[in-house]
Amino acid sequence: MTEPTTFAVPQDLPDGIGDTPLRPVRVPVGDRSVRIWLKLESENRFGSIKARTAEALLSSLEATGALRPGMRVVESTSGNLGVALAGLCAERGYACTLVVEPTTPRNSVERMAAFGADVVTVREVPGGRTLGARLQAVREILAADPDAVWTDQYACPANPGVHEWQTAAELVKGAPGGRFDAVAVAVSTGGTLAGIARYFRDNLPETRIVAVDAVGSSALGGAPAERPFKLMGFGSGQVSGFIEPDHWDHVVRVRDTAAAAACSLVLRRTGISLGGSSGAAVLAAVVRARLDPSLREIACVCPDSGEKYPQLSGGTAKAAPPDPDEEIRAALTLLNHVHPEPKADR
């Protein structure tokens, strides 16, 4: 296994990574209209926020000399990071091996392979522990190949780093009046939440940080559990190594079915396609808006769009039983009235 590397901020980013749009939508909450700003990361190259992460991970390894021409990049991925790594490795001339699981979206696996990556699929492990199997496969690949290097999205400082100095700064640049009342961020490795929280704590500490985790996830602590409707890229089978207790003001836990229902409502009412973690963040924003009347301008980091996820098509979410969480049910009712912001208000 490679030694931890020091994070070096890339000086030049490839065209098409970053500067993603903020799209405002409105949700009526009581006697006020809450404006939710969707940071649409699907507009990055390779279709997700993980383009930022992949570029930062590779550049960090290159800057320290740990990654050199002729070497192989190895990573465990639920989909989006693998696609971005495969594409960037093809451009930079590195071999690439990506470890996935059976529930990784088929569309994502096919795109990894199309970029020339070798894709290894591990078996599903009961009890929400398949991530452990993926990481064990990574360790075995590293042990067998002296020219293989792990980008290690779970521990490399470049992961939260890029979201601190790039993603968070973009949020503030596009904020109404230079600030948001709150920012909602879904967690997986926790890098996005950690980086954004650090930026806001240092620069706009009055902004509330809402951490959004999946029910059955261990990302923010707790035991992993089975998630039959699991949305990839949302939650994790292990505790995040990046997130500190002061990185959030509120935690909202969302079931996968509720996140999918939120995606369906947003798509139907606004025409905007959101991936599962994006829907969870929007739903959590509405939950917090109901509980805190001071929240009127809320940003939601939306890591990707929904087209690649089979759970977000075919009406599966509509057939799910009502969510047992009263706050989630109430937020979904409000989200049924989400609408694009009238142009005159922009």
Q: What is the pTM of this model?
A: 0.91
Query: What's the rounded Cα separation, in Å, for the pair 186 and 278?
Result: 7
Alpha helices in the chain (DSSP H): 50-64, 80-92, 106-114, 130-144, 158-162, 168-173, 191-203, 256-270, 276-291, 316-319, 326-335
- Output the CA–CA distances (angstroms, integers) from residue 294 to 45, 207, 298, 337, in the order listed: 36, 11, 11, 20
- Residue 276: what are its φ and ψ, rounded to 5°? -60, -45
Residue 14: pLDDT band with limits 50, 70, 90: very low
Q: What are phi and psi of 189, to 5 degrees?
A: -70, -25
Q: How far is CA 32 from CA 80, 246, 264, 293, in A?
A: 36, 30, 24, 8
- Segment 286-308, tens digit of pLDDT: 999 999 999 999 999 999 999 98
* pLDDT interval class at 317 (50, 70, 90): low
Cα–Cα dist 183/180, whole Å: 7
Select from 262, 171, 160 the least CA-distant residue to 214. 262
pLDDT of residue 314: 58
Provide mean pLDDT across the span 265-275: 96
DSSP 8-class letter at 40: E
pLDDT number for residue 10:
42
Residues 341 and 346: their CA atoms lie apart, in Å, by: 7
Rounded to whole angstroms, the Cα distance separating 101 from 103 reads 6
What local confidence, expressed as pLDDT, does residue 223 receive?
Answer: 79
> What pLDDT sits at residue 320?
67
User: With 70 as the cut, is the pLDDT of residue 198 above it?
Assistant: yes
**Distance set, CA 307 to CA 16, 68, 182, 320 (Å):** 20, 35, 28, 20
Structure token pair of residue 210: 């809402």
Q: At CB < 8 A and 24+ separation, what contacts does 131-139 make? A: 131/76, 131/236, 131/237, 131/238, 132/237, 132/238, 133/101, 134/76, 134/99, 134/100, 134/101, 135/76, 137/76, 137/99, 138/74, 138/75, 138/76, 138/99, 139/1
d(CA 170, CA 5): 26
Tokens of 166: 């790039």
Q: What is the pLDDT of residues 22-45, one digit of tens each?
A: 999 999 999 999 999 999 999 999
One-letter amino acid at 83 equals V
Pick the closest to residue 62 from 105, 18, 8 (CA basis).
8
- CA neighbours closer than 13 Å in the CB half-sphere of residue 17: 19
pLDDT at 285 over 50: yes
pLDDT of residue 4: 34
